[in-house]
Structure 1
Amino acid sequence: MSTTVVPVVLLLCVLAFAVLRPRGLPEATAAVPAAALTVALGAVAPHEAWVQIRTLLPVIGFLALVLVLAHLCAREGLFEAAGAAVARRCGGSPRRLLAGVFAVACAVTAVLSLDATVVLLTPVVLATAARTGARARPHVYATAHLANSASLLLPVSNLTNLLAFTASGLTFTRFAALMALPWLAAIAVEYTVFRRFFRADLATPRATPRAEPVLVPVSAGPVAPDHTDGTDGTGDGPRLQAPGAGPRVPRFTLVVLALTLAGFAVASLAGLEPAWAALAGVVVLGGRALARRRVTPRELVGAASPLFCLFVLALGVVVQGVVAGGLASGLGRLLPGGDSLPALLGVAAVAALLANVINNLPAVLALLPLVAPAGPGPVLAALIGVNLGPNLTYVGSLATLLWRRILHQRGIEADLGRFTRLGLLTVPATLLASTAALWATLHTVGA
């Protein structure tokens, strides 16, 4: 095989392994040998592979710290408390419960990354729906969609964001300012479509809601099948059982989390890596949890997902081989130039398509070297594409695959047809709305 074909075959094998995960083996099991083969067969020179790894290492380190921070927040009960608060404030309405789930999922995704939404919040949402008597389907599909579409706001919200943030040359606060309107636009479109798409589910709760909501987070068991109940005649859906008091709010954790988020902005303005702020948050929360014996050092190391970090580094080398083998020239012919609205829409569309073909992480690794020289606008447009596009198919995002696996572990099978129909309604609309919002922001406040 030529050096053009080999990296493509290796990338497809790595992605297939990541999707199937035979015997539960980590993704790095296939990615590391694939990266070694890419170098050994001459598709990527050893020094080029080392440069790629050195470029990715700070981003991966930041990701690991954010994952540990999210884990510590979960151990302190932040997610259960958020679920309980949503259940109390829904006022017995499944539609207001959906609005609450949207609010919490958007906040968790933006601040603690999409992994926290998929892994830590999804089980809480399942438990909340079960205990309030609402049908779980609209709310659990919301966590899948918002893990992707609500990850536009901050560099820490998604690994793709961290990569784009590094390539854009923007500060933390500037990145957030430029992406705020696209983020809001995507969420508004998602919420509008969800209210319409799941109107039947939002009108009929289960007949016998369980008592006391949201006390079972990550270990929540399967949700029983939905069935129909009556409505309250208020026009806002059926009445649900009023939830009880629920768990306490971990105020210390909230304060540390807020200070860490502020630290991201301050560090960026001071010319420091935001990872220092994340490290400070981990040291404070982790030191407190270790002192109280709520976590172990081994647990914290595991929360950093070292094997997944290794997978990303190895994947970067494989993608570099694919790009050098001809993908770059092909994408270069497809990508429009400039930062006009049609150009940004073109970049976002190509990025979304590529994410659904080879997954969003390889897609952003392949696209960034091509769009970065054109300035922050095309970089952020590509980010919109790789973040919103994966809501169309299961394979577009590792987070979506993980969400599906979590549901399967709880005896719930996500329906491919429903997921695809929902994606066809949301993805084109969110791409258009968010890219238009980005263009408006760029031409109003400048890059």
Structure 2
Amino acid sequence: MERSSALSTTSAEILATGLLLATLACVVLRPRNWPEAVAAVPAAAIAIGLGTVTPAHAWSETKELLPVVGFLAAILLLSQLCADDGLFRAAGDVVARVCHGSPKRMLGGVFAVAAAVTAVLSLDATVVLLTPVVFATATRIGARPRPHLYASAHLANSASLLLPVSNLTNLLAFAASGLTFSRFAGLMALPWLVAVGVEYAVFRRYFADDLAAPAHEPEPGEETGVPVFTLVVLALTLAGFVVTSFAGIEPLWAALAGALVLGARSLARRRSTPGELVKALNLPFCLFVLALGIVVRAVADNGLGDGIAHVLPDGSSLPALLAIAGVAAVLANLINNLPAILALLPAVAPAGPGPVLAALIGVNLGPNLTYVGSLATLLWRRIVHAHGTEPELGDFTRLGLLTVPATLLASTVALWAGLALLG
């Protein structure tokens, strides 16, 4: 590997690891609510300046991430525009109406909506836009909110297995897998269904007392109409993902087209301002992803990459896939799932799509064990706190211990079966 002679191997390893840990600590603690880029950008500059990563490697990493980050920005904008058009409020109204005052039925409705929103609009939409709707819907029927709020957190991770657009980790894995959009979805459909099913079974049992508490039919009132135009644009955008994938075009353009249509409509109706649309792109977070990629590349170039390659098994046998998923889950809880997938992909991508998808299962399901495993979980915790409910670490950890090993095992077995059947 290339490395500046200014640092010894040991010094470079220590510095690169220290920069990553310091960046993650700032992301978790977020002093003064500063954006994540405030920590990551200086860390990337230090890594380049002191020679823990060469400028050539840093630029190579940035070029690989740019299409992914552009896609992320477009999806974030699309999600916000769907929220502005009332899509999430309408979903909450449907759940409240269908559950007929039953907390158990509401849990099923929350699972269905959260799984669909996560799959189509990404886990960020579930955490940021759906969680407040879930809280409001539980309050509306007098149900205890705990089961439904924890469901939105878990499904933001567990239900993000299905599509390349469901999670930033998926976008990164999709780019490295060589799969088409439809092929990726086909292979991950069964692991996705299994993970959601296991989560639902555990939640029904774990929150049995909360779900047995009395509730009532929603009070009659003004309901949000279903935004048909928005749903049609969303469906066409999903179809565009498949078409662009087969045509060898970046799916960014399909996401951008959908966002432009809804954005132009929102501006014409004066529901949004240009400044609000730019804010929805969350450019500081996009910059954070680019900078974090450089920091992780520095760590990988200075020992982590070789260590991961040494630990991971070869091939796509069931034991190998289980081992890869397990290592990925552990790594996600140690250094967060985004750095984890960035570090894992160079080691698993040469072995084919099976190991890549197994690593993805690990980094998506593993974070349900700890708060720090996923940025989305940390964000969910802040949102729940802002609504006057403090999530309990004991509940979160116990739910993680009950769901993570089971979903990892079941989803990885489902992936192995899909690879065997679909080839």
Which TM-score tier does this pair reach, normalised by the shorter chain? Answer: over 0.9
Q: Partner residue of 1:289? A: 266
Shift of 1:174: 0.4
Is 1:109 aligned to residue 109 of structure 2? no
Whole-Å Cα distance in 2 between the matches of residues 136 and 373 of structure 1? Answer: 45
The correspondence for 1:194, drawn from 203, 215, 219, is: 203
Is 1:87 aligned to residue 64 of structure 2? no
Shift of 1:360: 0.1
Tell me if the contact between 2:141 and 2:216 (Cα under 8 Å) persists in the aligned partners: no
Is 1:39 aligned to residue 16 of structure 2? no
Letter of the structure 1 residue corresponding to residue 326 of structure 2: A
Tell me if the contact between 1:86 and 1:97 (Cα under 8 Å) persists in the aligned partners: yes
Q: Give runs of aligned pairs for residues 215-226 of structure 1, distance below 5 A.
A: none
Aligned residues: 414
Is 1:14 aligned to residue 23 of structure 2? yes
Shift of 1:240: 4.2
Tell me if the contact between 2:267 and 2:273 (Cα under 8 Å) persists in the aligned partners: yes
Q: Give runs of aligned pairs for residues 42-61 of structure 1, distance below 5 A.
A: 42-61=51-70
Is 1:367 aligned to residue 376 of structure 2? no
Backbone CA RMSD of aligned residues:
1.0
SS at match of 2:241: helix
Is 1:156 aligned to residue 133 of structure 2? no
Q: Partner residue of 1:440? A: 417
The correspondence for 1:381, drawn from 347, 350, 358, is: 358
The correspondence for 1:270, drawn from 242, 247, 258, is: 247
Shift of 1:332: 1.5
SS at match of 2:76: helix
Letter of the structure 2 residue corresponding to residue 445 of structure 1: L
SS at match of 1:2: helix
Is 1:180 aligned to residue 181 of structure 2? no
Tell me if the contact between 2:118 and 2:166 (Cα under 8 Å) persists in the aligned partners: yes
1:122-175 per-residue CA deviation (whole Å, 9 max, x = no partner) reads 000000000111110000000000000000000000000000000000000100
Letter of the structure 1 residue corresponding to residue 180 of structure 2: T
Shift of 1:369: 0.3
1:208-242 per-residue CA deviation (whole Å, 9 max, x = no partner) reads xxxxxxxxxxxxxxxxxxxxxxxxxxxxxx65446
Whole-Å Cα distance in 1 between the matches of residues 216 and 413 of structure 2? Answer: 39
Q: Partner residue of 1:225? A: none
Whole-Å Cα distance in 2 between the matches of residues 84 and 416 of structure 1? Answer: 30
The correspondence for 2:228, drawn from 251, 258, 265, is: 251
CA 31–82 in structure 1, closer or farther in 2 if over 3 Å, else same: same
Shift of 1:331: 1.2
Whole-Å Cα distance in 1 between the matches of residues 419 and 295 of structure 2? Answer: 34
SS at match of 2:143: coil
Runs of 4 or more, structure 1, over 2 Å off, are 238-245
Shift of 1:101: 0.3
Letter of the structure 2 residue corresponding to residue 290 of structure 1: L
Whole-Å Cα distance in 1 between the matches of residues 168 and 177 of structure 2? Answer: 14
Letter of the structure 1 residue corresponding to residue 78 of structure 2: L
Tell me if the contact between 1:132 and 1:243 (Cα under 8 Å) persists in the aligned partners: no
Tell me if the contact between 1:83 and 1:128 (Cα under 8 Å) persists in the aligned partners: yes
Q: Which moved more, 1:291-300 or 1:383-392?
A: 291-300
Q: Partner residue of 1:218? A: none
The correspondence for 1:400, drawn from 336, 357, 377, is: 377
Tell me if the contact between 1:67 and 1:303 (Cα under 8 Å) persists in the aligned partners: yes
Q: Partner residue of 1:233? A: none
The correspondence for 1:68, drawn from 72, 77, 83, is: 77
SS at match of 1:151: helix
Is 1:412 aligned to residue 389 of structure 2? yes
Q: Partner residue of 2:6? A: none
1:91-134 per-residue CA deviation (whole Å, 9 max, x = no partner) reads 22110000000000000000000000000000000000001111
Tell me if the contact between 2:181 and 2:242 (Cα under 8 Å) persists in the aligned partners: yes
Shift of 1:244: 4.5
SS at match of 2:20: helix
Letter of the structure 2 residue corresponding to residue 72 of structure 1: L
Whole-Å Cα distance in 2 between the matches of residues 239 and 134 of structure 1? Answer: 8
Whole-Å Cα distance in 2 between the matches of residues 173 and 285 of structure 1? Answer: 25
Q: Give runs of aligned pairs for residues 335-374 of structure 1, distance below 5 A.
A: 335-374=312-351
Whole-Å Cα distance in 1 between the matches of residues 275 and 188 of structure 2? Answer: 36
Is 1:141 aligned to residue 118 of structure 2? no
Shift of 1:47: 1.2
Whole-Å Cα distance in 2 between the matches of residues 47 and 272 of structure 1? Answer: 26
Tell me if the contact between 2:97 and 2:218 (Cα under 8 Å) persists in the aligned partners: no
Is 1:431 aligned to residue 408 of structure 2? yes
SS at match of 2:11: coil
Shift of 1:276: 1.0
Whole-Å Cα distance in 2 between the matches of residues 241 and 59 of structure 1? Answer: 42
SS at match of 1:350: helix
CA 160–313 in structure 1, closer or farther in 2 if over 3 Å, else same: same
Letter of the structure 1 residue corresponding to residue 271 of structure 2: R
Letter of the structure 2 residue corresponding to residue 405 of structure 1: R
Q: Partner residue of 1:127? A: 136
Whole-Å Cα distance in 1 between the matches of residues 119 and 125 of structure 2? Answer: 10
Tell me if the contact between 2:161 and 2:361 (Cα under 8 Å) persists in the aligned partners: yes
* Unaligned stretches of 5+ residues in structure 1: 206-237
Letter of the structure 2 residue corresponding to residue 256 of structure 1: V
Tell me if the contact between 1:88 and 1:244 (Cα under 8 Å) persists in the aligned partners: no
